[in-house]
Amino acid sequence: MQLLQQFYKPTSGQILLDDQPIEYFDLQLLRQKIGVVNQEPVLFSTTILKNIQYGQSNATFADIQEAAMVANAHNFIMSLPDKYDTIVGERGAQLSGGERQRIVIARALVRKPILLLLDEASSALDNQSEKTVQQALEKASKAILKLNRPELLLIIIGAFTSIFNGGLEPASSILLSEIIGNFIFACSGEALTKRLRAKAFRAILRQEIAWFDHPNNNTGALCTRLSNDATMIQGAAGARIGTVFSIFANLGVGMIISFIFGWKLSLVALAFIPFMVVGGFLHSYLIEGYSNRDSKAFERAGSLAFQAFQNIRTVRQLVMETQLINDYCHLLDIPYRSSIRRVYIFGLIYSFTASTTFFSMAAVFSYGGMLVEQNVMSFKNVMIVVNSMIFGAQSVGHHAAMAPDYGKAVSAARRMLELFAREPKISIDSHGLKLKDFTGDLQLRAVNFAYATRPCVPILNNFNLDIKSGASGNGKSTILHLLERFYDIQSGSVLIGSKDLRDVNLNWWRSQIAIVTQEPTLFNVSIAENIAYGDLPRHVTMDEIIEAAKRANIHYFIQQLPQAYDTCVGSRGDQLSGGQKQRIAIGRVLIRNPKVILLDEATSALDSENEKANCKRSIDSCNNWSYIDRCSTSSIDYTRCRFDMCSSQWKYCRKWNSSSITG
């Protein structure tokens, strides 16, 4: 499929389309005529309407509705509160796998392609939906300083050198002190930036999953915040600290000298200083306010760019390059227009602050000449006072010039401190129970739950479920999220071994469970490292990795690769097929030897032979585990998924008491 879309060129041979080599066709036109539905659906963090419209930019709402109906997605879309204007979340996280897949199918159908490429397009759908969609597809195919505390010694040294430099500057400052001060403060600033980013990254990782569901906390926005905010703070906390000390030392020493040699003339010069200071602080205050607003726009633009780069294959398939560029430019146009409007205000304030220096010089020279004429001061003393005050005035003017950096730094520091201070609603600290005799029994009692982004749409309503050790049941992705404690329930209780899950130590609990999701996530490292990530707290031996791979029915495939277990899987495992990624994910689970294993349609990406082998070798052999298996059917009917295949060896346990599952 990737060769057909010309993501790569064949090393030899030809690909013919209507008896013509495919490379002869216009690449953009060819991709516009091809519809692609991948095994792993890719959605963008926007509305359902916009996601479907990405398939054909000039599609009308009627066209979009028709495509959604053909893809069997219209009914579930209309049941949502915002219908087609519902935000799907980053990579469609607010929807189930089947719902995402149907939207992607609608996106492919809306362009009415002449060539439709299906890569296990219905793997995430239930039986009835799969049948309906398959018929439709066949039909369609035919038609801050506190944070700088560890560098306190460096700051003190830098401050002394800066004061020394500022005091001597009226009498010709010493170059060496400035070099030393700047160098030391630069070292301090770099160390601060490194620690800020590390601390911010740590603070982000400890937040609960619901926090990441918020549109302002998507991946692109968080990456932009990590990159830009720390740099902005360094811009005002590194060498700038030395500059501030020099400014105040310069002004202070200059004023002392001027008062010694002529206090009357010094008072005249001193009267202009407040205007300079107020102008500088006003400039800094306005910069901070506008910086907060601009940062939101830049975060949205960064998020869009991140999604485009992350899903570049989908962007190429849908020929979305021009549309994404226009969207990106539109997001950047907001702060651009804002900056055009405020440039006049900033220019007026800065010109007022800078011109005050020259007005003060004019007043001092005028009054100084009068004092010389009256024999109150000598010409020599007047020049000493004037020169001393000139240096001080220039220092204040220099401070005003740095106001934009300080304003942005204060704004960035406030965002950083808010992130550091935020306590996650679901904490992973060391508090909570650690059960000694945990057998794997799980119970959900009168559970009510709705996602924070959709509080008016209940997902679980007075839901009860018992899961006994060694048995498999059918659930929903939401239940898996609650069992992993990504979210907390609104009422009721989730019990493990008769203990409420909220009282159990979260780190310990997550070390006892493992999950294989419908869309496996691999890291851009070797196969061996990806499997070893399943049990990171300890050193995993190569023998254990090989044994886990054998049980997951992936060992022999790995051995055939040129670099075997050292093969790099690429970003998100793009170098492997969906089935190969899924089996590596199963191997990663097996190496942990957990008490509870959560299967979210874990074998949806495998063919029948692989699915049978994984069922018998990866699941049936582990009799001491509890299983929660969200099969490839939507709710209750799971006979096709597991029971017919494994027959009497499997027992399903369901206990539903006045329960309701929606979504």
3-class SS string, 249-291: HHHHHHHHHHHHHCHHHHHHHHCCHHHHHHHHHHHHHHHHHHH
What integer pLDDT is reported at residue 189 of this predicted model? 66
Q: Which residues contact 102 (CB under 8 A, 6 or more apart)?
A: 68, 71, 72, 73, 76, 125, 129, 133
Which of 48-62, 317-331, 468-482, 509-523 shows the lowest per-residue confidence on average (mean pLDDT)?
468-482
Residue 285 scores a pLDDT above 60 = yes
Residue from 263, 661, 607, 606 nearest 459 by CA? 661
What integer pLDDT is reported at residue 180 of this predicted model? 61
Mean pLDDT in residue range 649-653: 32
Residue 591, classed as helix, strand or coil, is coil
Residue 520 scores a pLDDT above 60 = yes
What integer pLDDT is reported at residue 437 of this predicted model? 64
Domain 442-661 top-level CATH class: alpha beta
Mean pLDDT in residue range 276-297: 66
Mean pLDDT in residue range 224-239: 68
pLDDT in tens, 12-22: 666 766 667 76
Higher pLDDT pick, 580 / 428: 580
Give the CATH architecture of domain 146-421.
Up-down Bundle (1.20)
Amino acid letter for position 495: L
pLDDT in tens, 176-185: 555 665 666 6
Q: How confident is the model at residue 211 (pLDDT cuts 50, 70, 90)?
A: confident
CA–CA separation, 625 and 595 (whole Å): 5
Amino acid letter for position 584: I
What integer pLDDT is reported at residue 316 of this predicted model? 66
Residue 420, classed as helix, strand or coil, is helix
What integer pLDDT is reported at residue 612 of this predicted model? 47
Residue 509 scores a pLDDT above 60 = yes
Q: How confident is the model at residue 639 (pLDDT cuts 50, 70, 90)?
A: very low
CATH 3.40.50.300 corresponds to the domain 33-142: yes
Which of 48-57, 98-107, 272-281, 403-412 shows the lowest per-residue confidence on average (mean pLDDT)?
403-412
Q: How confident is the model at residue 104 (pLDDT cuts 50, 70, 90)?
A: confident
**Which one-letter DSSP state was computed for residue 82?**
T
Which of 74-88, 336-350, 392-406, 520-534 shows the lowest per-residue confidence on average (mean pLDDT)?
392-406
pLDDT in tens, 112-152: 776 777 776 565 555 655 666 666 566 555 554 555 556 66
What integer pLDDT is reported at residue 43 of this predicted model? 81
Which of 101-105, 201-205, 431-435, 648-652 shows the lowest per-residue confidence on average (mean pLDDT)?
648-652
Residue 663 scores a pLDDT above 80 = no
Q: Which residues contact 269 (CB under 8 A, 6 or more apart)?
A: 258, 360, 363, 364, 385, 389, 392, 393
What integer pLDDT is reported at residue 361 of this predicted model? 78
Q: How confident is the model at residue 661 (pLDDT cuts 50, 70, 90)?
A: very low
CA–CA separation, 444 and 459 (whole Å): 14
Where does CATH 3.40.50.300 sit in the chain?
33-142, 442-661
Residue 421 scores a pLDDT above 50 = yes
- The answer to whether the CB of 119 falls within 8 A of the CB of 38 is yes
Q: How confident is the model at residue 471 (pLDDT cuts 50, 70, 90)?
A: very low
What integer pLDDT is reported at residue 449 of this predicted model? 73
CA–CA separation, 95 and 451 (whole Å): 11
Mean pLDDT in residue range 197-208: 79
What integer pLDDT is reported at residue 635 of this predicted model? 32
Which of 237-241, 382-386, 454-458, 630-634 shows the lowest per-residue confidence on average (mean pLDDT)?
630-634
What integer pLDDT is reported at residue 89 of this predicted model? 74
Mean pLDDT in residue range 167-195: 61
Mean pLDDT in residue range 213-241: 69
Residue 432, classed as helix, strand or coil, is coil
Q: What is the mean pLDDT of the chain?
A: 70
Where does CATH 1.20.1560.10 sit in the chain?
146-421
pLDDT in tens, 105-114: 888 788 777 6
Which of 292-301, 435-444, 615-624, 644-653 shows the lowest per-residue confidence on average (mean pLDDT)?
644-653
